[in-house]
Each structure stands twice: as structure tokens, then as C-alpha cells.
Chain A
Amino acid sequence: MSDVITTEAQNKPESPPVKGAAAAWPLGLAGAALLIIGSFLSWSYDSSILENLSLNGNPGGLQRLTIIGGVVALVLLLIAKGPLESRLGQWLDATLGLRALALYLLIYMVLVVVAISVESDGLINVDPGAYVSLIGSGLLFAGARLLPLRQLRDLGQARLPSWFEILSIAVIMAVILFGAAYALDLKDAWSFVLCLLFYAGVIAAMFRTGTLSWFSHVAQRNKKVLTLAAFVVAFFFPFTQNGSDANMSIATQVLIFAATAMGLNIVVGLAGLLDLGYIAFLGSGAYVAAMLSESAFATINWHPPFPVVVLIGAGVAATLGLIIGSPTLRVSGDYLAIVTLGFGEIFRLAMFNLDGTNGPLLTNGPNGIPAIPELTIGSFNFGDPHTVAGIELGRFSNYYFLLLILLGFIILVFSRLNDSRIGRGWVAIREDEKAAEAMGVNVFGLKLLAFAIGAFLAGMAGTIKAHQDVAVSPGQYIFLESAFLLAAIVLGGMGTIAGVLLGATILKLLPEKLRFFSEYRLLLFGLLLIVMMRFRPEGLVASRRRQLEFHEEDEELAVAVESELVEEAK
């Protein structure tokens, strides 16, 4: 912390000392210690639940998470008062972070006790270890409440050596990779939920200490490193799975979904055109690939190599996109949304009807085209397992890598467009179409371009999806799927890359991992859309400009966004 650029400390009055503040620190220390000690003891008599928490001295998965939480709490306590205070204390808001972490740890421990008693009949099955940890988390919570708040310097101003920033990006990415692999490996639903809760607690603590905002500044400064790191992490994910296909099959579905959502993000997020029939483009790509494949049910007797199929599929989708986009000359807003919805339904009904009796034989009607063979590019067959560096990579891993390349390509297209003249034109159209037109923006041309590019990318994803799914049928391309894609964008944050990837992952992953949840997933999905629009319409990861569009009267935000844009321009 030597080359720190100091700023003027804020001139806030000292907060009055809280009663019992003296007891807060030892109380917190005792709590953290109890939490860790309890985690080394047995939590339950029943070794068959929650992936075995019944051993003394050999903590199970959930207990290890608790130990990590306890250690983090200990570090935060030492930052608040103790040996680390002089170095980190003035930068990190340890008290607020500790309060958040302690709250989550308390909920976590309570839920652990609930989970044990639900999973194996009653509180009788809870071992003393769990109570020790529970009391520990309670003490920690009380201690954190009593700790006084302190004056801090703005972490965003901190400048560390750039090697340190890059190192911290690498460390965080590695943590994300292992965290994701660990969570996905949990078979037990309770364990999975508790694990997610723990992650949420850690993220909340990071947010409250200010580490997260520091990290977002670092990410701003080192965008390329971050992107590279994210792709490296995604690339290494299959190697953490030891050849198991269960998670890889989910991962490929997440990737297809994310790639399609990213394409829709160009139309909705950048150009601001609500498209409720977007799944039709994915479908047209998939149907083209199926009809041109060597399946015995394929209806066109021409089997070009796959790169040609990709181009044809994407081309057909883009043509459809142009057709669907053409009404934008005359309609906009809600009406355009309904027009696209109508096109989407027409696509589905057409695929349903083109079975030879109600129309020309192209799609086999409701049966679809099954038995699509595995993809081959050159002599590489995507169905065969391959061994790389001693780790077996199965069928889904092969598709995973291909889809990762596709997703990378789509993200590249997205970000290049966003930063270009075209992207600025879209922003202008989104915010005020008439003003944009008056400024000489080619409104109709740019809108058509948005539809065509979005459709082209979805068509590409569709051609791969057909082979990955082995079959296509009209039932895969219903309105609800379009709504899901839209929800991923809304949930994550319109017009952002990270947000949409996050939204797509959440929407596709959670129902797959939580079986008990899958029955109610549509119900919760509907509720989620309503709640998101009510309380956070800009999404989880909001682009600043979007945030301003949704909160027009917020002057403070406007100033903040403006200064940020100025900083970016420098």
C-alpha cells in the first residue's frame, strides 16, 4: 500500500460509540472460534444425510464451508481491531462486511439444523457440534452488531501495482471455477441450497466491505485480462468433471441458452426492440441442420459439410429476421412485440403442419426429425470421447467446447457492435427514435440490421443445438421459450454481457439442479418477472445507462453516471 493516492478524508462527524462496543470484539472472536470448533465436531448422528456430517475431526462438505466462513470472519475481526487494522483497516469496511457475513452464517446454521431435522425426523438427530457452531454464529452476529462503524477512505481510489490487480483477477476467477464445480458436484438438494446461501453470504460480505466495488474498478481497468480469464475458466470447467456427463449436459444447455440470449440481447438490449418470437430463429437454424443432416428422417437429400450447414442455417434465420423486422418500418413498441409474437407462433404452427398432408413434407409435423447423427467436422466426431492430459472428455464436453467458441464469437460481435457507430445509433433509437432520425441516423436500416444480426447468431446456435439434442420437434420452440430468453435478459440486465450470462445461467441451471423445484419453476419464473420489474427493472448487473433510463428522476445517479462516462472517455 505504498503508492497510494490519498484523497481528502470525508468530513463526517464521528459516530457516537455504541453501548457495549468494548465487549463486541471478544464476543465476535469467541463466536468465530466456536463456529470453527463446532465444525470439526459431528453435526448429525445420521451419516446418510447432507453428504455425511457425522464424523468428529473430519469435516464434511457443509462443515468445510462453515470453517471457511469462520476464517473469513476472523480475518475481518482482525481488520476491525488488531494486527491487520493498520494495513487494511482504513480501506475495508470490516464492520459492515462482518455484519452481512454473520447474518448469512446465522441463517446458514439455522437452516442446517432445520435441514437435519427435516431430512431425518426431528431435532433429536442434531449432534452437539451443530449447536456449538450455531451458538458461535449467534455470538458472531451479536458481536458484529455491536462493533462501531468507522471512517473509511474510498476504495475506488486505491491504486495497487498492476501485477497485483491481475493476480487478484486470476485468484477470483479460480475461486469461481472451483466454487462452481463444487456446487455442481453436490447431488443433495439441501446441500446445494445451503452452498448457494454460503456463496451469497460471501458475496454480500465482499459487497459490504467494498471489495466488490474495488474489484469492479479493477475489472474496468483490466477488461481484456478479465475476459481472457473468464474464458480460461470456462475452458477448464470440463476438466474438473472427471469425464462425468451429468453436469456437462447441463453446461451445454446453459451455453446454448446463453448464446441465444446473447443474440436476443442485441435486439432487445442494444436496439431496444422487444422480440417475443426470437425462439423461431433458433428453431429455423435447428430445422435447417436437421433437414440437411444424414438422419434417416431428413427431408432434403443433400448433406453438405457442417460449416456450409451453419452458413445456410444462419442465412435462413437472418432472412426470416429481415422479414420479421420489416414491419418495424411502420410499427414500434408494444405493437412490434405482438407482431414478433405472431411470427413466432406462425413459425411453430408451420413446423407443426408441414408434414406432407397439411402442406409440403419438410418437417415431419409433430414428430419432428429424430435420430440426427453426431456432428463431424473433418475427421473429428463429436460423439466420441477423447482423452486430453489423462482426463476423459465425453460427448458433451466436445459440444461444450464448440459452443464456447460460438459464445465467444457472439460476445465479440456484441461488444464490437456496442462500441461502434452502429451501437451508438441503436442507443439513439432506443432513447428517442424521432430525435435519432432528425440527427441523420438511418433508423429503419439499423433496426433491420439488429433483427438480421440477432437472427443470424441464433441460427448458428440452432444448427449446433440440433446435433446436440439429436432431434428437433415443434414443441421445443414454443412461446414460453422466447419468454424465458427474455427473462434471462431482464433478470441479468439488458444490454450487458456479464448480466445476461448470469441470468441465462441462473434460469437454466437452477431448475436442473433442484428437482423439487422444477415442478414449480414456471410459477416462480412468472413471479420473478413481476418482482424484478417492480423492484429492479434494470436487472442484477445493470448497465449504468440503463439504470438511468429506468430511474429518470434520480439526480444523484445521473451525476454518478456522467462522471463515470467522463472517466471512461479519458
Chain B
Amino acid sequence: MDQFFQQLVNGLTLGSLYALIAVGYTVVYGIVQLINFAHGEVFMIGAFGALTTYLLFFDGQTAVWILPFMIVGAMLASVGTAVLMERVAYRPLRNAPRLAPLITAIGISVFLQEFIRLLYEKVPFVDFPSAKQRIPFPQIDVVTGPAAEIGNVTIQRSAIFTIAALVISAVVLYYFINRTRLGRGMQAVSQDPDTARLMGINVDRIIVVAFALGAVLAAVAGISQGFQNNNIDYKMGFLAGLKAFTAAVLGGIGNIPGAVLGGLVLGVVEAMATQYVPGQFGGGSWKDVWAFIILILVLVFRPQGLLGARVVDRA
């Protein structure tokens, strides 16, 4: 039974991470019906933004008051990236055939990965480590350090940080979507962009806000990932992004509570699969395969997801 709870905790931690990233996919999809394939890279840039802030201003320190600055740094980096990519690459393609933005997204994804890998160490005037291998992520008091033990279940501090981040983000997000003008504007645009425009909503601005909103949560996820793994690298966004997309579809793409639920379910299923799938096909080395199989099964048999969304039918 201890094993079960341990895997549950692991799964929820992993799931919180997926959920934070998945919201970005879902928000953007709900508004422009675009799979922002490069969202995983926004998450990666967020982690590098936090690291950069730390290296520039707080190198060598571990006090907990640094954390908010790192979060702000991460958000600036990822929001900047997301808004820029929307403006430069996606906006001109808004009425193009469906294939075009997807190929652009692959291009952005490769470009951003390589940009970090090649140029991070070449930033002028400062001595940043090379991003060609994994870079150790700073250790901060309170959120990293010795793990807590409840019974026989180990809970890492970074896990608590991640889950707490998800809870706080979810509450803020709920408030933002339902109580603010911008949030209600987003809802209106996602229901019917043309009517929303007639009602005086600046659709272009709402789209930018959607990208930025996703990026803010991805930045938080990037920091969480850094604390959990103790290191970050330029390709961390690819797999995480793909799985978060799975989570978004699982919950019903376009549906924000669905993305959170989908993330948690995917995380728990993945953790349980490592523990409970018997024989040679169990264990860590096949867990990604199981995640992809879930992705395919969901896309094929329940494309509207667990909580339901508008059924996608586009070629």
C-alpha cells in the first residue's frame, strides 16, 4: 500500500507539471484552434529565464527571497518568447491552410532549441555555462532540501512546490477567466470570434493574452521542473510538451479545467504504469511508450476528451 501512495504522490507531482503546461495548449487552442507545438519550448525558455536571473543577480546565494525574482525572470522570458512567436510567425498565417501553422510550429520548436543550445554560452559580457550539456539548477532554501517522510512515503520539497504552484495558479486562473474583463473577453472569442469582434472585443489582443497566459504557467512549470530534476537542458521541452499536449487532449482541448484534470490523470497513470504493469513491458523504460499509447487511444476513441469539448473535425 505504501508503494501505491508513493506512486500516487509521484504521479500527482508529475501530473501537476503536465497540467501547468497543458493549460497553455488548451487556452491557445480554444481561441485560435491552433496546436502551438512550440509551447514545450516556451516552458524550456522559462526554466532558462529563471536560471539566467539567478546567475546574473544572485549567483551563489540560496535564500528563499530569491525565488520570486526567479519566477518573474522566468515569466518575462517565456511571455516574451510566446508573444514574439505569435506576432512574427503565427499571426501572418491565421487564414492559411491548416498545415502551414503546424509546420511553422515545428520550425519554431527546432529554432528555439538550437538557439538556446548554441547561443546561451555566447551571451556577451557574462559567463554563462554551455547549454550543450545539462546545466545544474540553483538550489533554494525551503523549496529544495531534505525530503519529508509521511509513513513510508517520501515527499520531495520540490514536489510540494509544484503541487502548490498548480493549486495557486488554478485559483488565479479561475478568477482571471471568470471575473475579469479580459478573461470574459477570452471566453467570448473562444465561443465565436466574429460576434466577439462585433461586440467591440479586440480579438488580436485577446489572442496575445492567451499566448501570454499559457507562457506564464509554463514558466512556473519550468522552475518546478528545474527544482525537481536539479538540472535543465535545451531539449527538456520536447517530451514534456508532447505529454502536456496529451494531457490537454485527455481533458478535452479548449477546456481549461479539463487540462488540469487531464494532466493529473496522465501523471498518475504514468506513475502507476511504472509500478503495476507486469513483466518486461513494465518499468521506467516503457513509461513513455505507455504515455504515447494513451495519447493515441484518446485521440482515436475520445477526441473530445474526458470533460468534453467541441468535437474537432478539421482536415
Separation in Å of the B102 CB from the closest CB of chain A?
Answer: 6
Contacts of A343 in B (CB 8 A): 292, 296
Interface residues of A in 340-384 (CB under 8 A from B): 341-343, 345-346, 349-350, 352-353, 357-360
B314 within 8 A of A: yes
Residue of B nearest to A528 (CB): B107
B152 within 8 A of A: no
Q: A331-B299, A333-B312 are in contact. Are A490 and B103 (CB under 8 A)?
A: yes
B115 within 8 A of A: yes
B100 within 8 A of A: yes
Prevailing SS type, chain A contact patch: helix
Contacts of B93 in A (CB 8 A): 533-534
CA distance A330 to B297 in the complex (A): 11
Chain B 262-305 interface 0/1 with A at a Cβ cutoff of 8 Å (1 = within) = 00000000000000000011010110110011011001110100
Contact B303 A529 (CB under 8 A): no
User: How many residues of chain B get a CB closer than 8 Å to chain A's CBs?
Assistant: 48
Contact A338 B35 (CB under 8 A): yes
Contact B280 A533 (CB under 8 A): no
CA distance A433 to B100 in the complex (A): 18
Contact A358 B300 (CB under 8 A): no
A236 within 8 A of B: no
Q: A349-B286, A533-B93 are in contact. Are A526 and B100 (CB under 8 A)?
A: no
Contacts of A519 in B (CB 8 A): 118
A486 within 8 A of B: yes
Contact A529 B118 (CB under 8 A): no
CA distance A331 to B111 in the complex (A): 29
Contacts of A550 in B (CB 8 A): 96-97, 100
Contacts of B314 in A (CB 8 A): 332-334
B98 within 8 A of A: yes
Contact of A342 among B88, B285, B296, B313 (CB under 8 A): B296
Contact of A527 among B107, B295, B313 (CB under 8 A): B107
Contact B292 A483 (CB under 8 A): no
Q: Which of B102, B112, B281 has the most CB of A within 10 A?
A: B102
CA distance A501 to B156 in the complex (A): 53
Contact B313 A332 (CB under 8 A): yes
Contact of B303 among A335, A337, A525 (CB under 8 A): A335
Separation in Å of the B293 CB from the closest CB of chain A?
Answer: 7
Separation in Å of the A476 CB from the closest CB of chain B?
Answer: 17
Contact B288 A345 (CB under 8 A): yes
Contact A529 B106 (CB under 8 A): yes
Contact of B111 among A330, A342, A430, A527 (CB under 8 A): A527
Separation in Å of the A364 CB from the closest CB of chain B?
Answer: 14
CA distance A211 to B303 in the complex (A): 52
Contacts of A332 in B (CB 8 A): 313-315
Chain A 405-435 interface 0/1 with B at a Cβ cutoff of 8 Å (1 = within) = 0000000000000000000000000101100
A28 within 8 A of B: no
B114 within 8 A of A: yes
A339 within 8 A of B: yes
A272 within 8 A of B: yes
CA distance A65 to B141 in the complex (A): 67
Chain B 95-123 interface 0/1 with A at a Cβ cutoff of 8 Å (1 = within) = 01111111110111111111100100000
A520 within 8 A of B: yes
Contact of A350 among B109, B242, B289, B313 (CB under 8 A): B289
Separation in Å of the A566 CB from the closest CB of chain B?
Answer: 25
Contact B289 A346 (CB under 8 A): yes
A115 within 8 A of B: no
Separation in Å of the B245 CB from the closest CB of chain A?
Answer: 7
A523 within 8 A of B: yes
Contact B289 A480 (CB under 8 A): no
B92 within 8 A of A: yes
CA distance A345 to B290 in the complex (A): 11
Separation in Å of the A330 CB from the closest CB of chain B?
Answer: 5
Q: Which of A332, A346, A533 has the most CB of B within 10 A?
A: A533
Contact B110 A522 (CB under 8 A): yes
Q: A327-B299, A332-B313, A332-B315 are in contact. Are A526 and B97 (CB under 8 A)?
A: no
CA distance A480 to B280 in the complex (A): 28
CA distance A330 to B92 in the complex (A): 30
A321 within 8 A of B: no
Separation in Å of the A422 CB from the closest CB of chain B?
Answer: 18
Interface residues of B, Cβ cutoff 8 Å to A: 35, 88-89, 92-93, 96-104, 106-115, 118, 238, 242, 245, 249, 280-281, 283, 285-286, 288-289, 292-293, 295-296, 299-301, 303, 312-315
Known A-B contacts: A332-B314, A339-B296. Give 9 more (CB < 8 A): A274-B99, A327-B296, A331-B300, A358-B286, A359-B281, A523-B110, A527-B111, A533-B93, A534-B89
